[in-house]
Amino acid sequence: MYKVAVIPGDGIGPEIIDAGRMVLDAAGEKFSFDIEWEPFDIGADRYLATGELVTEDDLSDLSRFSSIYFGAIGDDRVQPGILEKGILLAIRFAFDQYINLRPIRMLAGADTPLAGKKPEDIDFVVVRENTEDFYVGIGSRFSGTQKTSLEVLRNLYSVKFGLDIQSDAEELAYQIGVVTREGSERVIRYACDLAMTRKKKLTSVDKANVLSDIYGLWRDVFTSTTRSYPGLFTEFTYVDAVTMWFVKNPEWFDVVVTPNMFGDIITDLGAMIQGGLGLAPGGNINPSGTSMFEPIHGSAPKYKGLNVANPFATIWAGSMLLENLGEREAAAAVVSAIETAITSGVVTKDMGGTGSTSGVGRFVADTIRSS
Ligand code: IPM
Ligand code: MN
């Protein structure tokens, strides 16, 4: 018996989560475990009604769970950034979910926009650092009315860095990226361990040629950490170049490890090459704490309640949740049932089909039960 917290969230979140739960329940029947779901009312509606994003009480309730199943957040009535930072990032940070695991795998039957590439060519994993870098939220914005702050910053720049930046600037903003040895080491170690169970190839993605302080440290940690993995092939790439290689030679990659922001960007690219955002799951993992599994797409408010959203990313995220609970066989059965649905043409409109969210979910669930 597992207890799983559920945050359906906004927009299409509740529908895709319902489909996902149906599938995981079927996996439980087939592989003899039970899931007790505990829903949490966190999202735009509650925020608009009460002003609450994620409260201390939510966090202490959620901390009793090892897994959270998360739908999507984002709502047209709320200014962009508030729910994303106040809910999704708040949970990732509160539970120190330092690994953002994003498989880039073209499933059987899926369509990639990359000409001539087949499922065996597109099968790697991006391990995105999930707590540091430019996501730490340290920054400020100064306008012309805050002359003193502007002066202070200008002086700081010229005294400390010998720079004379726009001495007539009336408005100025800055944002700081933070990388620590400890924060890098734990995620790089996780990526190394993962690579050792796969093709033993690990690629670091950074921008150490320009942001040489933070990513110079990242590279040092990468070099020293990977040294203790004999047989592991390692390489450094720059983020701009890696976007080319993802498109041209996805078959080169096995495990890719990268700081937070580049990880955000390259996994959207990865999602497209594996067949679209509707097929891209992610896990926010703290190996010794509370982990959270979600589709990497958003809440698509305009499709809310229409029962047309593609549930595959959420179902696949559910498979990652099962894997994280140690239910390996069940996890694999879920992904293979998604492949059966795709190859049978039981897919939603975005993938060229006529299936509904619940219909596709039910088909995947039935496929698991009868396998
Ligand atoms: C993602 C999303 C989030 C991120 C946003 C919604 C905060 O883009 O999960 O990739 O930037 O991490
Ligand atoms: Mn993103």
In SS3 terms, 228-276 reads as CCCCCEEEEEEHHHHHHHHHHCHHHCCEEEECHHHHHHHHHHHHHHCCC
Q: Out of 89, 98, 100, give the residue to mutate to test ligand 1, the one with the largest number of ligand atoms within 8 Å of its CB.
A: 89
User: Which atom of ligand 1 is nearest to 89's Cα?
Assistant: 7
Q: Which residues of 149-176 are buried (b: 16+ CB within 10 A; e: fewer)?
A: ebeebbeebeeeeeeeeeeeeeebeeee
Query: How far away, in angstroms, is 367 Cα from ligand 2 center?
Result: 31
According to the model, what pLDDT value does residue 159 have?
A: 63
- Is residue 48 scored above 60 in pLDDT? yes
- Cα gap 367→351, rounded to integer Å: 19
| CA 298 to centroid of ligand 1, rounded, Å | 9
| pLDDT digit string, tens, across residues 181-191 | 999 999 999 99
Model pLDDT, residue 140: 83
Tell me which long-range contacts 156-162 makes (C-beta under 8 A, separation of at least 24). none
Query: What is the 8-class DSSP label of residue 63?
Result: T
Residues 51 and 345: beta-carbon distance below 8 Å: no
- Ligand 1, atom nearest to 261 Cα: 11
**pLDDT > 80? residue 19:** yes
Name all domains of the chain by residue range, CATH numbers in brackets: 1-111+275-371 (3.40.718.10), 113-131+179-258 (no CATH), 133-177 (no CATH)
pLDDT score of 173: 83
**Integer Cα distance of 364 and 25 in angstroms:** 11
Tokens of 193: 């361990």
Answer whether 173's CB lies under 8 Å from 142's CB: yes
pLDDT, tens only, 213-242 = 999 999 999 999 999 999 999 999 999 999
Say if residue 321's pLDDT is above 90. yes
3-state class percentages of the chain: helix first, strand second, coil last, to nearest 5: 45, 20, 35
Helix, strand, or coil (residue 356) = coil
Q: Three-class SS string for 13-50?
A: HHHHHHHHHHHHHHHHHHHCCCEEEEECCCCHHHHHHH
Mean pLDDT of 137-145: 80
Q: What is the tens place of the pLDDT at every residue in 83-104?
A: 999 999 999 999 999 999 999 9
Residues enclosing ligand 1, CB less than 6 A? 84, 88-89, 264, 296
What is the DSSP pairing of strand 67-72 with strand 2-9? parallel
CA 105 – CA 297 distance, rounded (Å): 16
Sign of CA dihedral 60, 62, 63, 65: positive
Helix (H, G, I), strand (E, B) or coil at 112: coil
pTM of the model: 0.94
Q: Write out the two tokens for 309.
A: 């959203």
Q: What is the mean pLDDT of the segment spanning 202-212?
A: 97
Averaged confidence pLDDT in the chain:
95
What is the per-residue pLDDT across 61-78, written as a single tens digit (0 to 9) for each? 999 999 999 999 999 999
Side-chain-side CA neighbours of residue 182 (13 Å): 2
**Distance separating alpha carbons of residues 222 and 256, to the nearest angstrom:** 12
Three-state DSSP state, 144: coil
CB neighbours of residue 252 within 10 Å? 16
C-alpha gyration radius of the chain: 22
Average pLDDT for residues 150-169, to the nearest whole number? 65
Which atom of ligand 1 is nearest the CA belonging to 294?
A: 9
Q: For residue 165, what pLDDT band results from cuts at 50, 70 and 90?
A: low
